[in-house]
Amino acid sequence: MVKENKSVIDEIDRARLKLSIEHYAKYFIGKRNCELTKDEAFKVIALAVREFAMDRMYDTIARYNEHGTKRIYYLSIEYLIGRSLENNLYNLGLYDILKDIKIEGFPDFSLNDIFDAEYDPALGNGGLGRLAACYLDSMASLGIPGFGYGIDYQYGLFKQKFENGYQVEQADNWLGDDSPWQFARTDRTVTIPIGGHVEMYNKPDGKVSYVWANTNNLYGVPYDFPVVGYDGKSVNYLRLFSAKTDDELDLNIFNNGGYIEAVRDKIRTETISKVLYPSDNIEQGKELRLTQQYFFVSCAIQDIIRRFMEKSNDFKKMPDYICIQLNDTHPALAIVEMMRQLMDVYGQEWDDSWAIVTKIFAYTNHTLLPEALEKWSSSIIGRILPRHLQIIYEINRRFMEFARSRFGEDSYKLGKVSIVDGDGDNQVIRMANLSIVGSFSVNGVAKLHSELVKHSLVPEFYELWPEKFTNVTNGITPRRWMLRANNDLATLISEKIGTSWITNLDMLQDIEKYIDDKNFLKEFLKIKNENKKRLSQKVYRATRIMVDPNSMYIVHAKRIHEYKRQLMTVLQIIGDYLAIIRDNVRPITPKTYIFAGKAAPSYTFAKLIIKLINNVADVINNDERVSEFLKVVFIPDYKVSVAEYLIPAADVSCQVSTAGFEASGTSNMKFALNGALTVGTYDGANIEIREAVGEENFYLFGLTDEQVRGKRLTYNPRELYEKSDYIKRILNAVNSNMFCEKDYPQLFRPIFDALLNSDYYFILADIEAFNNTIHQAERDYNDREKWAQRAIINVARIGYFSSDRAVMDYAQNIWHVKPVVD
């Protein structure tokens, strides 16, 4: 009976999907089926699939309303969601149905061609945005009432190209308002005041009221992006806001010949949602970034309050219905904006408002880097958000009274916890401190990271509120990162152990019993090789460099930053290259090193590292002496759709951050899930991955966090250079013209000097251990069957690192919400 019912439903869905595709081709695109381009074919199919998602979304919201449950609002400045069509087809159960549909006259595009026509939404940059996207997927798949809030960037970060080896940034106009997945909710547009000044009035009861006067108004128009959970049982949404002005232009000015002046304010306003992370090297950039953060959180807070007031006017009940998770410090102003709304708009008293705020906000810390902990000049905040600055000062005044009750007059501890730092023109607002003070929960994202947050980053806060601090180790969604990205492996696994692993990743442990099954090993290796062939084709199209799928693929794919140590990887490559051409060393296994990642446009040193990698690649790839042993490629414009090809093809995953600097990382989890072995440091989630997969299935090297901290004051990288022929040879090559003959002499001297004079991230301290570990992996790779067994163990034991588990940790221990399912 169940099979019969499913068959009937499939037939209904097939007929509806077919009719919808034909409808959108004829009435939306305005073409006959046979005239559709590949891009148009993608759009009509996406719109037809969106119908199914929307129906499920309405059903989901109705179910949440019926249960009257608490809702989770996830605030993140970025979401790296990737392509949606294939993912939604899988999750809605429409993938096989679409494959079987025959539409008269429809172009004979393959499904893969249509999937490739979808442009990645340019809404994020790296791990922070990808984590947010994984959590939205898991909340929907688990039936947790969770909704994302963010900005609908028109251009996102940037599109990366290489010119003469240099990173060049181009606008990444992904689709924006024209995306088939998004739909505008103009009825939910919110007004955002900005600028002006604050006026103080005495009320009849003797209390003081504040009025934020003479403001300029921005308008936030929401666009909803359905988030389809697995099996389509729940569909939540991501609400993204775009900045608009109230009028297209001032016609009086325009009619007097002042077109530029007429559109100036419109251009300035709409710039707010143009790009992700505008450069803050200049004052205007700082103002734009702060305005962007305020715009985003004010839109979200107003929308959250509106939704609450549809149920109740009793604000004391807000904690029963609302929990707001701050994804790092970018949304920290939400705490202040909620206070402003409750007091200034809805007439609540300070104490009542603060009691509400401190019960609904939770904060996730993502960094241990002091320079990454946001601070804003009070003068900028005062100019853009004068009322918010008043509220911040009052929050801090009251908090410092509490801190003194615990610390006495200990000026050091009081200085560390104060939200306000410095005075006069040098005064800054510490957003991490504000987030901690205003939240009921503070979590790190890996065990080591959470311990370092408590004992190294903010020990004074931990002393004040030890009960606030907890850990939630990050996770990744298996729907995107295996079922979607590595479907052949997903199919092989499902044939052996069933499909329950898709929603319970711990079930992957059942495949470990097949590590001695010759046929299973053979199929596993075959799938890996096919993935490597597929990637080699992508690499060639992107770089015009041919790479050998039979070589060992060593992948370092991350945002380019000194602490992530792409520089160490390229120095190790140089060492191998020199050993081949000068010492006649013949590697046991041919190796292909694959880099991917973007550097922030203003991060000059990181961009020089990219230039070095590309120059080294150019020299090595054109040297016949090493052609059968070594290749280096840098894939441009790294994004989710590129990662979906890259990660399943990797043999070795480089997770080599300086110990104590990486909060967690999630690419380490994705690579392990897809059968890559990790070469990594004792840092972030590497530690927990190594514990899970077994130390014999993880290549550990390098200093520990304790050792890094212990050596910090006495570390002498120049001494290492003088004592080590290996290090000296590599650095002398970097400082010579070997890798810059086509540019200008000693182009890479800044790298040479930085390593010898400081080496803040301990590259020279770890590089020989890294080199030895890579060579050990190279030797082990020669025994392909044993390598496959270790790779399978990585897959089998990675279940803990599911975003489903992480979201349930949040739900049970922080949000206090349960899944709402039929």
Q: pLDDT tens digits for 606-622?
A: 999 999 999 999 999 99
pLDDT tens digits, 444-497: 999 999 999 999 999 999 999 999 999 999 999 999 999 999 999 999 999 999
**Three-state secondary structure call for residue 608:** helix
Q: Beta-carbon neighbour count of residue 495 at 10 Å?
A: 11
Q: How many CA atoms lie within 13 A of 822 on its CB side?
A: 10
255 or 113, greater pLDDT? 113
In angstroms, rounded to a whole number, what is the distance separating the alpha carbons of residues 634 and 614?
7
pLDDT per residue over 238-250, tens digit each? 999 999 876 544 5
Given this model, what pLDDT does residue 797 score? 98
Paired residues of 591 in beta bridges: 552, 630
SS3 label, residue 106: coil
Q: Mean pLDDT across the stretch 427-448?
A: 97
Rounded Cα gap, residues 421 and 286, in angstroms: 18
pLDDT, position 371: 73
Query: Counting beta carbons within 10 angstroms of the beta carbon of residue 14, is it exposed (0 to 12), middle (13 to 18) or buried (19 or more)?
Result: middle
Q: Is the pLDDT of residue 278 over 80?
A: no
| Residue-level pLDDT at 249 | 44
Examine the pLDDT at 370 and tell me if it is beyond 80: no
Please answer whether residues 598 and 167 qualify as being in contact, where contact means their C-beta atoms are separated by less than 8 angstroms.
yes
Q: Which of 348, 154, 364, 389 is nearest to 267 (CA)?
A: 154
Residue 1: is its pLDDT beyond 70? no
- The whole-angstrom separation of Cα 124 and Cα 121 is 8
In single-letter form, the type of residue at position 25 comes to: A
pLDDT tier at 527, thresholds 50, 70, 90: very high
Under the banding of pLDDT at 50, 70 and 90, the label for residue 11 is: confident
The pTM score is: 0.95
Average pLDDT, the chain: 94
Rounded to whole angstroms, the maximal C-alpha distance in the chain is 91
Percent of the chain predicted with pLDDT > 90: 86
Judged by DSSP in three states, 755 sits in helix
The answer for residues whose C-beta is within 8 angstroms of residue 198's C-beta and 6 or more apart is 210, 211, 212, 213, 386, 387, 390
> Which residues are tagged catalytic?
366, 558-559, 564, 666, 670
- Return d(Cα 742, Cα 748) in angstroms, integer: 13
Dist CA 192 CA 531 (whole Å):
48
For the cut 80, the answer to whether the pLDDT of residue 6 exceeds it is: no
- Which among 374, 357, 304 has a CA at the least distance from the CA of 128? 374
pLDDT at 7 over 80: no
pLDDT at 167 over 90: yes
List pLDDT tens digits, range 754-779: 999 999 999 999 999 999 999 999 99
As a whole number of angstroms, the distance between CA 612 and CA 607 comes to: 9
Q: Is the pLDDT of residue 254 over 50?
A: no
Helix or strand holding residue 327 (H, E): strand 322-327
Quote the tokens at residue 664. 């967690």
**Angle subtended by helix axes 784-796 and 518-543, to nearest 10:** 90
Share of the chain above pLDDT 70, in %: 95
Average pLDDT of 315-326?
98
Q: What six digits make up the tokens of 270? A: 């709409």
Q: Look up tokens 């015009």; give the residue.
A: 544
The stretch 697-719 carries a mean pLDDT of 97
What DSSP string runs through 209-236?
EEEEES-EEEEEEEEEEEEEPGGGS-EE
Nearest to 808 by CA among 508, 503, 510: 503
**Please, what is the Cα angle at 707 between 703 and 709, to 5 degrees?**
120
User: Which residue in 814, 818, 806 sits closest to 144, CA to CA?
Assistant: 818
Pairing of strands 71-75, 322-327: parallel
Position 3 pLDDT exceeds 70: no
**CA distance readout (Å), 425 to 294, 376, 476:** 22, 12, 43
| Confidence (pLDDT) at 436 | 98
Q: How confident is the model at residue 735 (pLDDT cuts 50, 70, 90)?
A: very high
Cβ partners under 8 Å of residue 2, min gap 6 = none
Beta strands per DSSP E along 113-234: 146-151, 159-163, 166-170, 183-184, 190-194, 197-202, 208-213, 216-228
Which are the contacts of 572, defined by CB distance < 8 A and separation ≥ 6?
Answer: 767, 770, 771, 774
What's the average model confidence in pLDDT over 666-679? 98
Confidence of residue 5 (pLDDT cuts 50, 70, 90): low
Which residue bears the tokens 């559709």?
A: 36
Find the mean pLDDT for residues 805-820: 98
Which pairing describes strands 552-557 and 677-680: parallel, antiparallel, or unpaired?
unpaired
What is the rounded CA–CA span in Å between residue 444 and residue 366? 7
Across the range 333-359, mean pLDDT stands at 97
Q: How far, rounded to the nearest angstrom, does the alpha carbon of residue 110 sit from its chain's CA centroid?
A: 30
